[in-house]
Amino acid sequence: MKKMVQLDDQLLSDVERIATERGRTLRSVIEEALRKMVAHQAPASDCKPSKPVSLPTFRGHGLQPGVNLDDSRSLLDLMESAGAAD
């Protein structure tokens, strides 16, 4: 399967040098590195669910309506709009 990816110029240069030194193709060196990375990843079933965290609040009454701490994009939007109002 063909996919296009962008790599940092220095990283690509380093990988090309390694491939040349070892008499291998750039593709084979990249595939080997990716396979090693994937092999060292813990399966999702091994991940333990985290315990709920109690966050202290100051000068307020806790989490405000409509705020979802699991949605980083909406949190960023909310913080940016609050900063614009200041």
CA-derived radius of gyration, the chain:
23
The strand ranges marked E within 1-86 are none
pTM to 2 decimal places? 0.48
pLDDT digits (tens, 9 = 90+) for 17-69: 999 999 999 999 999 999 999 998 867 666 677 788 887 777 777 777 778 88
The helix (run of H) or strand (run of E) holding residue 15 is helix 9-22
Shortest CA distance to 78 belongs to which of 65, 23, 60, 16?
A: 65
d(CA 42, CA 11): 25
| Angstrom distance (rounded) from CA 41 to CA 80 | 35
Q: Give dist(CA 39, CA 1) in Å, integer.
A: 20
Amino acid at 26: L
